Amino acid sequence: MACAASAVAVFSLWTDWRSREVPHWLLGGLALLWGVAWAFAPGAVGDEPQAGLACGAIMLALGFVLHLAGWLGAGDGKLLAVLALWLGPRDLAMALFGTACLGLALLIVAWARPQGDFRERGIPFAWAIAPPAATLLLARAVAA
């Protein structure tokens, strides 16, 4: 299950690059997959699924605030929340650190390009959110 979630997270990179949005069906699919994993393979969603729910709710609130401030797209905030469901408290801090590092790299690239695509269409921030989470989910699947 974690491998499938990782694959969907990686697919979000393509959709965000192409259209600068993360579709609702993709986010809903990740959340539905988490629910199925919780019901049939609880170990796939971490040690405590209720803690994953709390992490998802906190990240959804944070994503909403960042969206209102204009720092993050709405789909990016929801992607952050649904991946926090999967990661739970054990892996969320590491994923957020990776997201911060990749986000800084994206910002540097956007500033370095004189009149680049990023300034016209925005930064595809799923490229900072999904890779650390997908890597951690794959590591969890391999370890299991």
pLDDT of 28-67, one tens digit each? 999 999 999 888 877 777 667 889 899 999 999 999 999 9
H or E segment to which residue 19 belongs: helix 2-19
State if pTM tops 0.75. yes
CB-based contacts of 47, cutoff 8 Å, min separation 6: 88, 90
> Do 12 and 132 touch, CB atoms closer than 8 A?
no
Structure tokens at 44: 């796939």
Range list of β-strands (E), 2-50: none
**pLDDT of 118:** 65
pLDDT of 71-105, one tens digit each? 888 999 999 999 999 999 989 999 999 999 999 99
Separation between Cα atoms, residue 114 and residue 120, nearest integer Å? 11
Single-letter amino acid code for the residue at 87 = L
